[in-house]
A and B are shown apart, each in its own frame.
Chain A
Amino acid sequence: MAGGKLKGVLPPYLLSAPALVLYIALLGTPMIMTFVLSFHAFDFNKGILPGFGFSNYWEVLSDSYFHEIFLRTFGLALIVTVICVVIGAPEAYVLSRMKNPWRSIFLVVILGPLLISVIVRTLGWALLIGSNGVVSKTLQSMGLIEEGFQLMFTFSGMVIALVHVLVPFMVISVWAALQKLDPAVEHAGMSLGASQFTVLRRIVFPQVMPGILSGSMIVFALTASAFATPAIIGGRRLKVVATTAYDEFLNTLNWPLGATIAVLLLIANVLIIFSYNRLIERKYAQVFG
C-alpha cells in the first residue's frame, strides 16, 4: 500500500506532539533560559547585564563559602542515602515476609506519607524537634539534654526529616526487586546447608542489590536537590545548594549567580547519578540484564 510506511511512522510523532510541545515549553524553556542567564553578569546597582562570561562560575567555584554549601549538600545526600538503605531495605524485606492483611496495611502505612505534602510533613518535624517540641521536652524532662537544646537548624535535624520523607522511595524500589525473587531460591540455599543468615547475606541481598542501588540513586538525587525540608529545618544557618540558589534569586536578586548555582547543582547531580548508573550497569548487566 502506497504511503503505508509514512502512515506507520508519522502517527506516533503526531500523537505525542502536544505533550512534547508542552514539555519543551514548560520545562525546556525555563531550563535553557536559566542556563543562558548563568552567563550574564550582575551589578548591584544596574541589575542584570547582558553579555557572556564565566565570571559567575568562577565566583562559585573559587569561593570557599560555596564549597562548603556544595560539600554540605552532597554530604547530606550521602548520609541520607546510607540511612535510607539501612532502614528501607530491611523494612522492605520484613514487609515481603508478612502475610496479608498485615502486609497491605503496613504497605499503606509506609507509602501513606507520600500522599501528604512534603511541607506539611516537614513542618510536623519542626514541631517535634523544635526547642519547645515534644522530642526536646521529653528528653529534657528525662534529664538527657540541656534546656534549649533542639534539633531544629541542625544537620542531624535535616537528616532525620529527609530520611522520613525519602525512605518510602527506597522501600518501593527494594520491594520491587524482592517481588522478582523466587521464594524457592531461599529454600534451595537452606537445603544446601546455609543458615538463615547466610541465605540472607549470600542469596537474598545480592539479588535485591539492583533495587537498593536504584533506590539510592533516587534518594540521593532527591536529597541533593531537596528544597522544602532544608529550607524549613536547616533555615538560613545551614544552607544547601537549592536554598542558596533560591536566596540568590529572591533575596539578593542576583539572578545570574542563582542560575549558575542551579546549573552547577544540575551538572553535579547528573554526573554523579550517571557515573553511578554506569557502574551498576557494568556490574549487573551480565547477571540480570
Chain B
Amino acid sequence: MSFLHLQGLVKKYGDFTAVEKMDISVEKGEFLSLLGPSGCGKTTTLQMIAGFTVPTEGRIIIDGKDVTELKPNHRGLGIVFQSYALFPHMTVAENVIFGLEMRKVPKKEARQRVAEVLELVHLEQFSQRFPKELSGGQRQRVALARALVIKPNVLLLDEPLSNLDAKLREDMQIELREIQRTLATTTILVTHDQSEALAMSDRIAVMDKGRLVQIDDPLNAYEFPQSTFVSNFLGKTNNLEGTLVGRSDGRMQVRVGDGVLDVRDTGPSVDGPVHLSIRPEKLHFADISKARITARIQTRVFLGNHFMFHLDTPVGRLLLTMENSGDAVKGENEEVGLTWNPGEIRIVQGDR
C-alpha cells in the first residue's frame, strides 16, 4: 500500500483544464519529481496536495486518510515555496520554530529540534539573522529547515532551486537529496529542469498540458521515453518520422527520408507514421566503409567536456554528441560515416 495517492485528480478553471485525471501513487520515503514545461499544471497539482487549491474532482489520500477536504493547516505537510516565503520579520530561528509553536511542542524540545535541523542544513551560526541578511542559497536552506522541523509526512518542493545560480543549484541538489535520504521523508519536487529531475528523483512524472504522460525511474524515462514529447523534454534527442516497410523476426524496417533504418521491434501496432528516437550520444562516427549511413558535418560546437555535431544525412538532420576524449576531432564539412547499435533506436508515440 503506497503512502500518497492522487486519484483521478482534476482541476478546472472555468472551461480550461489545468490538471486532467491525475493518478499517481507515491511510496513511503520516495522522491518523486513532477516534471514538465511551464504551464503544464505542476504547481496546481502541488497546491492541491497542499490544500491551497480545491480540486474539481478526485481524491487525495495520505497515509490511508482522505485529506481532500482537509484545511492546509491540518495536513501536516512540509512545503518549500518557490519564493521561499520566509517570514521577513522573524529571525532564522524564529522562522524555523514557528511550526513547532503551532504544534505546542514544549519550548525546550522545540529549541533542541531547531538546533538539530539547522545543523542538518549547515546554518547553525546564522540562527539569529533575519532572512534579508542571508544569501539566496542560505534562504533556501532556511525554508527547507522550516519545512523539515515539523517532521512532515510529506515534503512538497515547488521549484526550490530555480532562483539559485547553476553552481549553487548543483550543490543544493546533492545536499537536498542527501537530507531527503537521511530523513526518508516522502518528497514531491516540482521542477521544469530535466537535469534536476534526473539527478534527484527515484521516479519522474512527466506532465504535458495538464496530463501525466509518463511516470518512470530516471534511467528508464530517459532510455525508454514513450513519446516524442518525453524524449524531447528529457535531454536532447533525434526524432525521426518514417513509414514501416518491413517487419519480421523481431525487426522492423522503417523508411526515413532517403534511408531505411533497421529497428528492434518492440511490438507496438503500427498504423500511420512510425516515430523513432535516438539519443545523440548513441550515434558514433565510423569509417565510411563500415558505416550504416554517410553524413556531412554541418556545424561543430565545442562544449568543454564534449562536442556537438549537426549532421546532414539521408534520413535528415541528426545531432551527435561526442566526448572530448583528446582524440582527433572531425571538422566541419567533412564527409563521415555513422553507426549505432540498432537496439538504441526507440519507437515512440508521436505527439497527439
Contacts and interface: CB of A to CB of B under 8 A. Distances in A.
Nearest to A191: B79
Interface in B241-270: none
Dominant secondary structure of chain A at its interface with chain B: helix
A188 to B, nearest CB: 4
What is the interface residue range for chain A against chain B? 20 to 34
Contacts of B147: 191
Interface in B50-84: 50, 52, 71-79, 81-83
A124 interface: no
Contacts, number: 70
Given A194-B102, A286-B130, A188 B81 contact: yes
Given A193-B73, A193-B103, A193-B150, A187 B81 contact: yes
Nearest to B98: A192
A206 B89 contact: yes
A60 interface: no
A188 B85 contact: yes
Interface string A245-289: 000000000000000000000000000000000000000001111
B88 A191 contact: no
Nearest to B131: A287
B89 A192 contact: no
A247 B83 CA distance: 58
B73 A195 contact: yes
Contacts of A188: 79, 81, 85-87, 146
Contacts of A192: 73, 98-99, 102, 146, 150
B72 A190 contact: yes
Interface in A165-206: 182, 184-185, 187-195, 198, 202-203, 206
B132 interface: yes
Contacts of B88: 185, 207, 287-288
B132 A187 contact: no
Given A182-B83, A287-B132, A289-B132, A191 B78 contact: yes
B83 A184 contact: yes
A288 B88 CA distance: 7
Contacts of B75: 191
Interface in B285-319: none
19 contacts: A184-B83, A187-B52, A188-B85, A190-B52, A190-B72, A190-B73, A191-B72, A191-B77, A192-B73, A192-B99, A192-B146, A193-B73, A193-B103, A194-B102, A198-B102, A202-B98, A207-B88, A286-B130, A287-B132
Task: Name the 8 nearest CB pairs between A and B, nearest first.
Answer: A192-B99, A193-B102, A184-B85, A188-B85, A191-B79, A206-B89, A184-B81, A185-B85
